[in-house]
């Protein structure tokens, strides 16, 4: 998918690029699979801001995705659609019972393609099966963390993971970050690469475009008052942080580990940090 460029009619347009929607086959979503989306401006149910720099933006509707196609299901792709809530494309598919579903679209999905799910389906792109049935070395996406819970990993545009090995009850999967992680062999995944590969090369170009996405401006801590940020305050002009860098709530950052000691530590074979050092 190529990147769409604009004529430099304004300074913002000069550096702006956008995604080419030539692979999208319909502009109108299926009404039964959409749901209204409330704008919370980064606030939780008590009204506190839990995600900063959010608010405004154009109105959007949720697409009700099916990340857990059951075994034995055969679906046919009817349309490739744009989803404003994710970077990847989605596919409108129809199963053997005449019901419609939205699933992630990979690079090989076309209108009319038949996709199967189950342990005994062919080893073909887009088909979904347990990791135990996928050949070692295959590229996979939409991976389950727990069997039957639905895909939770590798769902962004252009991402892919690789099945590295199978050992005992676990498969070793190399994630897009370089991390190698153990996942139960009963968990399912789809073969292929998530579509819209050129998404990472898009240049926003203007501040207004971010505002339409619902992203408000971010402000550096060193230019705030001391009451608003640990880096703030001080007389004179420009200055540094004056202390070890930290978050607005005083939590150390830049090298300070914040990952909780959970049971997943035993499932990580190689961290993403080790993978970056070897590159």
Domain ranges of the chain: 3-199, 221-279
- Residue showing tokens 């005083």: 250
Q: Can you give the pTM of this predicted structure?
A: 0.86
d(CA 91, CA 204): 25
Structure tokens, 242 = 């004056």
Tell me the torsion sign for CA atoms 97, 100, 102, 108: positive
CATH topology of domain 221-279: Ribosomal protein L2; domain 3 (4.10.950)
- Quick one: average pLDDT of 48-58? 93
Residue-wise pLDDT for 71-91, tens only, equals 889 999 999 999 999 999 999
Superfamily for domain range 3-199:
Nucleic acid-binding proteins (2.40.50.140)
Q: What share of the chain is helix, strand, coil (3-state, %, to 5)?
A: 15, 30, 60
- Quick one: average pLDDT of 120-149? 94
Residue-wise pLDDT for 220-269, tens only, equals 999 999 999 999 998 878 899 989 999 999 999 988 887 776 667 788 88
Question: What pLDDT does 18 receive?
Answer: 93
């Amino acid at each position: 998918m190529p990147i769409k460029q604009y004529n430099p009619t304004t300074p913002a347009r000069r550096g702006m690029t956008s995604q080419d929607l030539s692979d999208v086959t319909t502009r109108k979503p299926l009404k039964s699979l959409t749901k209204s989306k409330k704008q919370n401006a980064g606030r939780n149910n008590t009204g506190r801001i839990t995600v900063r720099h959010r608010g405004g933006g154009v109105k959007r509707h949720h697409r009700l995705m099916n990340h857990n196609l059951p075994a034995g299901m055969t679906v046919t792709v009817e349309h490739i659609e744009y989803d404003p809530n994710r970077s990847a494309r989605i596919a409108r598919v129809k199963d053997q019972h005449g019901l419609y579903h939205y699933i992630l679209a990979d690079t090989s999905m076309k209108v009319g393609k038949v996709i199967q799910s189950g342990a005994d389906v062919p080893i073909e792109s887009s088909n979904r099966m347990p990791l135990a049935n996928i050949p070692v070395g295959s590229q996979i996406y939409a991976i389950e963390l727990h069997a039957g819970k639905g895909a939770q990993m590798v769902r962004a545009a252009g991402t892919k993971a690789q099945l590295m090995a199978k050992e005992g009850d676990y498969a070793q999967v190399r994630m897009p970050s370089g991390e190698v992680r153990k996942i139960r062999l009963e968990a399912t995944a789809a073969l292929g690469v998530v579509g819209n590969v050129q998404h990472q090369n898009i240049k926003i170009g203007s501040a207004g475009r971010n505002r339409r996405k619902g992203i408000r401006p971010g402000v550096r801590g060193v230019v705030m008052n001391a009451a608003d940020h640990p880096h703030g305050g001080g007389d004179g002009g420009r200055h540094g942080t004056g202390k070890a860098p930290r978050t607005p709530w005083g939590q150390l950052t830049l090298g300070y580990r914040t990952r909780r000691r959970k049971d997943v530590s035993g499932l990580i074979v190689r961290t993403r940090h080790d993978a970056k050092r070897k590159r």
